[in-house]
Structure 1
Amino acid sequence: MNQSLTIDNEQATVGVITKGGCITSYRLKTNDGFFDVLKSFGQRNKASFPLIPYSNRIKNGCFVFEGKKYQLPLNFGDHPHSIHGVGWQEEWSVKNHEEDSITLELTHDGTVWPFPFKATQTVKLSGADLYNEIQLTNLSTTSMPAGLGMHPYFPRHGTAILTADVGEVWKTDDTCLPLEKISCPPNWNLTSGAMVDELHCDNQFDPWTGTALINWPDKSASVTLTSSEDLNRLVVYAPRDEEFFCIEPTSHITDAFNFAFQGRPQQETGIRILEPEETWTVWMELLPKHHL
């Protein structure tokens, strides 16, 4: 049963639901009311959700690992690939709810994803700053391939400028599968700061140093996103004519399991192999500033 939870202090408030383990809102308290750092989107009221145990797409929902072929459900309408793992579509349980933090837990039985696992997610407020951590533990008796990430949605608030230290980006086909990595073209030069309205992209920048800055000059506000060392690739989804955009810290390239099967090295794919009972932890932090 889907539950709605809240953490709140004098500077900010955060909403979480157990369906999908989603953050539903993250708002600063201002003299004029509230300022939305994240934007809710979609039927499940998602402002951010965990990417477990992989991010982005697996081609046709099919991959081979240690000589065995696996077929995943196609889990996103008529899209031809499996997308974003299983955590965002399953019911999490509440492990802990304190004044400044919420911890959710998901135990997956190895049906949709063919390896059983346990995931734990913590959402914590410290003043106005939001910390989001996810842990993944392999409950299988065999090794398990894995990738992790987060999928936050940000409002445009009029003009938004994205700055991130990246130099290369993956060109994709019309289903967002990677084709080749190229130097960032001038319109995707995030290093110098790019207008989000002009990006029109759904692409992965690789590698990334783990820090990105969003400026909203129309609102005299900004937020810095930082992430753990393993989340060293950045997906930027900036669709045309929408009020939101996404910057997603991820650990691996899109369709990484199939790239690994083709012999690409781990350093290139970002795939992590978890042994039985091994736990992997990653995090993202949002550090906002707003001139009240």
Structure 2
Amino acid sequence: MSCTAKKSRFLNEEAILMENEYLEAVLVPGWGSNLISLKWKPGGLSLLKTPETKEEYDANPFLFGIPILFPPNRIDQGRFTYDGKTYQLPINEKPLQNHLHGFLHDKKWTLIKAEADDQKSMAQTVLHADEHPDIQSIFPHSFSIVITYRLEGKQLQMDASVVNHGKEPMPLGLGYHTSFRYPFNEKGDKAQCLFSLPTEKQWVLTDRLLPTGEYHVTEEFKTGRTAAGERLDDIFAAEVDQEGNSTADICDRLADIRLSYQCDSHFKHWVVYNGTSDDSDLLCLEPYTWMTNAPNLDLPHEVTGFQALGPREEAVMKSKIIIGGV
């Protein structure tokens, strides 16, 4: 199997091109370490929504590739308290008065290495929070995060390693705003493209899209449904298998492709989002280690997914996207 990992350009930005006989991926470290493109070569399909211009990307960077969310989704008024310390994140969703999607997605990450052998191609990036005064002003912790991307066979693997270098515990919430093209088929037939989630529990939201702490039971997302004809911006508690993983699926019959998005036990929730208009051409499946507004919810941490990383501790969170035929 021929695998490569080499420096490239994407919309005039420094990038890493990774490739094997099944997959081609483009990573842009300077755009928040965003894996901006993923292609399935046997079917000639682009799997992620990818911008055609820098202006299109800048207009809403969350809608392209796989942005890294830290912390994920919304924080009520951008404020929460943990371990006697109050955090105030910027209110960047002004209509709803929330903080949205954290503070790592717009930073320039550093490429550690990019290499390939006979079995896989890989790239690894790092961000050191100490090097970013704007992070320290709102989240005063010394930490680093390393993301390792691997193409191996028909899989894209993503490992996130977070290390707390400080002397105090730090809140830890991570997610991926994974923006898949929807549908994959060239006819644009959404009825032939179904997605499913391992869940029976959907969280009830306020008009500011924050969880109330209550949920209702639903079966419709477990068996497979289309994302057409309904606006989705919803939060679900993940159900895990015997190995502790949860897996979301997209199956497009016309494109003859099935995609499985598998995450380890750190990821306790999924968000499903499909844009703001009826002609939206994306479906975001977003795995989160903690649910929206987790630090402010009066629920057990084992339910919300809220966790803290102790001094000198490391957490490694693993996920992968597996592609094959229907």
Please say whether Structure 1 and Structure 2 have the same fold, judged by a TM-score greater than 0.5.
yes
**Distance apart, 1:78 and its partner CA:** 5.6
Kept in 2: contact 1:104–1:121 (CA 8 A) = yes
1:23-102 alignment to 2 at 5 Å? Answer: 23-30=35-42, 34-40=44-50, 42-43=57-58, 44=61, 46-52=64-70, 54-76=71-93, 80-99=97-116, 100-102=121-123
TM-score by length of structure 1 reads: 0.90
Other-structure match for 1:13: 24
Q: Which amino acid letter does the alignment assign opposite residue 38 of structure 1?
A: L
Deviation string, structure 1 residues 145-173 (Cα, Å, up to 9, x no partner)? 11112221111123221112211111212
Partners of 1:78 and 1:182 in 2: CA distance: 25
**Distance apart, 1:227 and its partner CA:** 0.6
- Note closer, same or farther for the CA distance 1:112–1:75 as it changes in structure 2 (3 Å cut): farther
Deviation string, structure 1 residues 13-49 (Cα, Å, up to 9, x no partner)? 0001112110100001136xx2112222532483112
Would you identify which runs of 4 or more consecutive aligned residues in structure 1 move more than 4 Å? 76-79
Partners of 2:39 and 2:138 in 1: CA distance: 34
Other-structure match for 1:279: 314
Kept in 1: contact 2:76–2:210 (CA 8 A) = yes
**Distance apart, 1:199 and its partner CA:** 4.3
**Distance apart, 1:79 and its partner CA:** 5.3
Q: Which amino acid letter does the alignment assign opposite residue 114 of structure 1?
A: P
Deviation string, structure 1 residues 246-265 (Cα, Å, up to 9, x no partner)? 11111111101112xx4x32
Kept in 2: contact 1:143–1:273 (CA 8 A) = yes
Partners of 1:282 and 1:20 in 2: CA distance: 18
Q: Secondary structure at the match of 2:50?
A: coil
- Note closer, same or farther for the CA distance 1:49–1:141 as it changes in structure 2 (3 Å cut): same
Kept in 1: contact 2:48–2:64 (CA 8 A) = no
Partners of 2:163 and 2:101 in 1: CA distance: 18
Partners of 1:229 and 1:199 in 2: CA distance: 29
1:193-232 alignment to 2 at 5 Å? Answer: 193-209=224-240, 210-232=246-268
Partners of 1:265 and 1:97 in 2: CA distance: 41
Deviation string, structure 1 residues 192-217 (Cα, Å, up to 9, x no partner)? 11111144211110133211110111
**Distance apart, 1:72 and its partner CA:** 1.3
**Distance apart, 1:140 and its partner CA:** 2.2
1:109-124 alignment to 2 at 5 Å? Answer: 109=130, 110-124=136-150
Q: Secondary structure at the match of 2:254?
A: helix
Partners of 1:173 and 1:181 in 2: CA distance: 11
Kept in 1: contact 2:27–2:35 (CA 8 A) = yes
* Unmatched tracts of structure 2, length 5 or more: 1-11, 52-56, 131-135, 184-188, 241-245
- Note closer, same or farther for the CA distance 1:199–1:288 as it changes in structure 2 (3 Å cut): farther
2:129 is the counterpart of 1:108? yes
**Distance apart, 1:74 and its partner CA:** 2.4
Q: Which has the higher strand share?
A: 1
| Count of aligned positions | 283
Partners of 1:136 and 1:289 in 2: CA distance: 31
- Note closer, same or farther for the CA distance 1:93–1:112 as it changes in structure 2 (3 Å cut): farther
Partners of 1:191 and 1:90 in 2: CA distance: 36
Partners of 2:25 and 2:238 in 1: CA distance: 30
Partners of 2:15 and 2:258 in 1: CA distance: 27
Partners of 2:194 and 2:28 in 1: CA distance: 29
Q: Which amino acid letter does the alignment assign opposite residue 136 of structure 1?
A: V
Kept in 2: contact 1:37–1:288 (CA 8 A) = no
Other-structure match for 1:258: 296
Other-structure match for 2:152: 126
Partners of 1:113 and 1:78 in 2: CA distance: 24
Aligned sequence identity (%): 23
TM-score by length of structure 2 reads: 0.81
- Note closer, same or farther for the CA distance 1:4–1:75 as it changes in structure 2 (3 Å cut): farther
**Distance apart, 1:75 and its partner CA:** 3.7
